Amino acid sequence: MLLLAAQYLTYAEAVTLYQQLQAVGVDALVKSCGPPTFPFGEGMYYQLLIEETDTTSAQAVLEAFEQQRTTPTILHCPRCGAPEPAPVSRPAWWKRLFYAGTTLHKCPGCGKEFPR
């Protein structure tokens, strides 16, 4: 019998978790789930199913993956590597248009602006 191991994963997260489970010898099934995407109707998220007999061997991998997934990452400057760049409060109009949907950050050390 298959049990739900993880759900609402992005494609990259599903592939990573699948490979980690394969490394410890646990076979997994990846299925699409969630609201449909257009025009094809597939789910926009993924879920991983494992055999009921493999739950004990997969438990450590699943806990480590969930811990890594829920821990917020610290943003670093791509140029100098300084941690925690500040968001730009009022970018120019063309930057607001070009970077629509993202937050523009500025490094306090080197002054580089980059989206996140």
Query: Mind listing the pLDDT tens digit for each residue in 31-80?
Result: 988 887 777 777 789 999 999 999 999 999 999 999 998 888 888 888 99
The pTM of the full predicted model, rounded to 2 decimals, is 0.65
Average pLDDT value for the chain: 89
* H runs (alpha helix) in the chain: 11-23, 55-70, 93-98
Query: What are the two backbone dihedrals, phi and then psi, of residue 115, each rounded to the nearest 5 degrees?
Result: -85, 155
Question: What pLDDT, on the 0 to 100 scale, is given for residue 39?
Answer: 73
Residues 9-13, mean pLDDT to the nearest whole number: 90
CA angle 75, 23, 26 (to 5 degrees): 115
- Distance in angstroms (rounded) separating the CA atoms of residues 105 and 67: 26
Question: What pLDDT, on the 0 to 100 scale, is given for residue 16?
Answer: 94
Closest CA to 7 of 24, 23, 22, 29: 29
